[in-house]
Structure 1
Amino acid sequence: MPGRAFSPKLPFILTRVLFYAALVVPRVNIRRLLFVPILLLCIFIALYTTVDNTYGDFVKGMSLGTTLFGASDYLLLCSDVQEDIRFEGQKEGMHSKPLMERMVWALRMCMNLRGVGTNIEPTRHLPPRPSRTESRKTYILKQLAWLALYAPLWYMVVEFNRWNPRFTEEPSSLGVPRDGFPWWWRVTIWGTMFDIYFSMSTINSVCSILSVGLKISKPHEWPAMFASPLEAYTLRRYWGQMWHQTYRRFLPAHTNYAASALRLPPKSKITTYFKLFLSFFLSGFIHFLGDYMYTEALFGGAINYFVLNACAITLEDMVIALGKRAGLRESWRWRLVGYVWVLFIFTILLPGWHDARLTILSRLHSVKAA
């Protein structure tokens, strides 16, 4: 990209090494000092590096956001991460443990964004874990079977998204401007969601096979990346149950800190919805970093999209509360209504974000062609 002369590989590796080292060192003040170079490296990567691939830059930008907020959580917000977070069976904190034990613990922490198997595991938000009695061989065979399903489906979705003339970066192959397509073409935006679903599921299966096969972890420490789509009969359940929960640890950590700093009354509705909107804003900011990495444009498509989801959840909560007051009870019929509602919201909101991004990319292509 113009103005970006550096590869992000080395500085990105340095951010991960510094984060890992900060989790290993026993002194809290050193951990907090190490956040500064992590932050500076993230800024450098966002402003001055590129992988010369739009999708690669987007993923790299989102990885930056995840690293930055994860580091902020563990290194700044935690009073002492080595004492606060413990894995199953760990009776003492890591502060006074030998270097090798702290290194293994830090590695497990870096590989475990959802906090599975720790005292901070968000159990009710995660899919069921594999049985503790399941053998490594059985687990690996099951994951290989899932891979045989995920991989070809991921390939087909990627090819569909590449072909889709409504959401392509290039001028439409059908000779129709993007805003000239019939409304029902908006439904094809779901191809991007399926891309995320199958890609993250594939990566999760591969990582679990390697980790379990090498005896780094046990089968029951690897729940699926996503819950069943049948769980998504409300928008709140879609984001809080069905979708991946890789932000489940650090987003609440930051929203809880902000609510406490503002002295909002705990467990009040104003605090609940303050945290809801701030969580979606921060998630939007992480995706904004991805957008910025490959468009170099300061546009708020991602932030608008996620904040509007928070607005829709607020409306949804109000309607459900009114329904309960009217004596309505949950049933399969209302769940069907919920599925339609969730599909409707994403079909309406998601194209707005993608259209804004694609308009910028189309201009970039035009400039390069000129």
Structure 2
Amino acid sequence: MRTQVTLIEGIYGSASRVFASLVPPPEHREPFSTRSFPIAIISPSVPFLLLAYLSRRADTHLTRLLLLPVAVTSALYFTLHYKIEDARYGIFEFIRFLVGYYILGKSLNFAFVREGRFKTGERRLQRVNEVSASSGILPPSLNDALELAFAVRGIGWDFGRDVYVPPRTKSTQRGRFLRDATVACIKNFLIVDLCDSLIKLAPGVDSLEDGSMFLQDLPLHWRYSLSTAVYVLGGMLIIFGLEAGSDFVSLLAVGLLRSSPDAWFPLYDSPWRSTSLHHFWGKGWHQLLRHVFLSCGGYAGGWLAGQAGLVLGTFLASGLYHELGMQLLDHRIMLFFVLQGIGILLENVYKRYTGKRVGGVMGWCWTAFWVIILGQMCTARAIGRLPGAILIPRKLSIVRGLVFPGIRYLIESIVSR
């Protein structure tokens, strides 16, 4: 009996040490620096891309399952072993965590899908020993892995059959596409710069530690007017920031890697015009992580509780993803996403009893209440740290370097007359 207890204690102690080495507490994490950058990027990328490549090859299911522990360990190490110590760069720490969890989620998917991943219309996958013809500057195997790894929405793939695709805003002719993408990238960057600069003008909310959208010294109507403005500008930052990033990636993919312009669509479809939560989250908002959230929560919820479980499980996975990415032990962030699922289920009830969908002006107000009003209550702490963080350095800010000084000069000139 004593031998069994000692064995169990030894196994538990070894497991605890392994876990502590993979998931050290924040105070013991290594600072993320230029020296650690190569290993932090390469360590999760190699097994992740290898899994993506094997997902495009027939009869590799067992190999992918055997590789999965390496991919998971590397993703956790990359995500949790390092930290960006300067709180001013907290946005980039948030992005780094989101990327790490994305790699983790997609690695699980690549490993467990038995037959592999197919493009739309494909009936069979090549074997590992079959050689593909090269159509770009990269080796065919690496090109195949990158194409699947970055097919976030699954457009043109078996896992993206039901994803909503916004209407095109760019030409599908290569030269004109590159021109359109360049213009769009610059435009979106300027909008992000403007939103970031306007948020930083808000007095008293720019603390990195205890910043808040709600200034208690202001009268009630001014307090909530300011918080709503900061919240909406924060949302615009996300929308146009992601669009700018997508435009930049598309320029690299189409211009250098010879990707087809047909594969690149806008991320958003005017979410501010949504007249229901169904439309906002299903069409207006980006669908980048739809498949990840369905895989990590939606399908399990659907198995347990049908359509309601599918909706709530998907939003629960989304909430957990964002809460872990922000490294905030604030369950109101998760509550926000779960509330969105509840709102969608209420819309289903409304349609069932009235025969009509939520829409029109009242539908727009309904959507604004769930997304903006409840959103402020649930995400105030996270958004409150945004004004003090660095998104666009002042030296690169056109708005703060040229536009604001120009406006100030014009005002002073008018007043001094």
Q: Which residue does the alignment assign to 1:280? A: 315
Q: Which residue does the alignment assign to 2:288? A: 246
2:329 corresponds to which letter in structure 1?
Answer: L
Q: Which residue does the alignment assign to 2:368? A: 343
Q: Which residue does the alignment assign to 1:368? A: none
Is residue 184 of structure 1 aligned with residue 219 of structure 2? no
Q: Which residue does the alignment assign to 1:126? A: 165
1:59 corresponds to which letter in structure 2?
Answer: I
Q: Which residue does the alignment assign to 1:365? A: none
Deviations 1:122-150 (A, max 9, x none): 4551113578x831011122222322321
Q: 1:109-188 maps to which residues of 2 (within 5 A)?
A: 109-122=148-161, 125-129=164-168, 134-165=172-203, 167-170=205-208, 176-177=215-216, 182-188=223-229
Distance 1:256 1:278, change over 3 A: closer
Distance 1:211 1:271, change over 3 A: same
Q: How many Å apart are 1:298 and its aligned residue?
A: 2.7
Distance 1:300 1:46, change over 3 A: farther
1:277 corresponds to which letter in structure 2?
Answer: L
Q: Distance in 2 between matches of 1:44 and 1:178?
A: 44
Identity, % of aligned positions: 19
Contact 1:116 1:221 in 2 (8 A): yes
Deviations 1:180-202 (A, max 9, x none): 76233331211111001011101
Q: Which residue does the alignment assign to 2:12? A: none
Q: Distance in 1 between matches of 2:299 and 2:161?
A: 18
The two structures have a TM-score, normalised by structure 2, of: 0.72
Q: 1:67-78 maps to which residues of 2 (within 5 A)?
A: 67-76=103-112, 78=113
Q: 1:353-368 maps to which residues of 2 (within 5 A)?
A: 353-357=378-382
Contact 1:114 1:247 in 2 (8 A): yes
Contact 1:22 1:31 in 2 (8 A): yes
Is residue 40 of structure 1 aligned with residue 73 of structure 2? yes
CA RMSD of aligned residues (A): 3.2
Distance 1:51 1:329, change over 3 A: closer
Contact 1:284 1:303 in 2 (8 A): yes
Report the secondary structure of 2:151's partner residue.
coil
Q: How many Å apart are 1:179 and its aligned residue?
A: 9.0
Q: 1:289-304 maps to which residues of 2 (within 5 A)?
A: 289-292=324-327, 297-304=328-335
Q: Which residue does the alignment assign to 1:108? A: 147
1:232 corresponds to which letter in structure 2?
Answer: S
Report the secondary structure of 1:299's partner residue.
coil
Q: How many Å apart are 1:220 and its aligned residue?
A: 1.1
Deviations 1:305-340 (A, max 9, x none): 11111112222222233332xxx578xxx4222222
Q: How many Å apart are 1:174 and its aligned residue?
A: 11
Q: Distance in 2 between matches of 1:248 and 1:215?
A: 26
Deviations 1:274-323 (A, max 9, x none): 0111111111111112111xxxx533232111111111222222223333
Q: How many Å apart are 1:73 and its aligned residue?
A: 1.4
Q: Distance in 2 between matches of 1:352 and 1:179?
A: 17
Q: Distance in 2 between matches of 1:320 and 1:114?
A: 28
Q: How many Å apart are 1:343 and its aligned residue?
A: 1.6
Q: Distance in 2 between matches of 1:284 and 1:71?
A: 20
Larger radius of gyration: 2
Farther off after superposition, 344-353 or 202-211: 344-353
Deviations 1:255-283 (A, max 9, x none): 465257x5x5xxxxx41110111111111
Q: Distance in 2 between matches of 1:48 and 1:339?
A: 44
Contact 1:20 1:106 in 2 (8 A): yes
Distance 1:33 1:6, change over 3 A: farther
Farther off after superposition, 239-248 or 10-19: 10-19
Report the secondary structure of 1:194's partner residue.
helix
Q: Distance in 2 between matches of 1:173 and 1:24?
A: 45
Q: Distance in 2 between matches of 1:358 and 1:340?
A: 22
Is residue 20 of structure 1 aligned with residue 55 of structure 2? no
Higher relative contact order (CA 8 A, sep 6+): 1
1:41 corresponds to which letter in structure 2?
Answer: S
* Deviation beyond 4 Å, 4+ runs, structure 1: 170-176, 178-181, 358-362
Contact 2:213 2:383 in 1 (8 A): no
Q: Distance in 1 between matches of 2:250 and 2:386?
A: 36
1:17 corresponds to which letter in structure 2?
Answer: V
Identify unmatched segments of 5+ residues in structure 2: 1-25, 133-138, 388-417
Identify unmatched segments of 5+ residues in structure 1: 265-269, 363-370
Deviations 1:188-234 (A, max 9, x none): 21111100101110111111122112253111110111113365211
Q: Which residue does the alignment assign to 2:23? A: none
Q: Distance in 1 between matches of 2:110 and 2:374?
A: 33
Q: Which residue does the alignment assign to 2:258? A: 216
> Paired residues, what number?
340
Q: 1:92-103 maps to which residues of 2 (within 5 A)?
A: 92-96=124-128, 97-98=130-131, 101-103=140-142
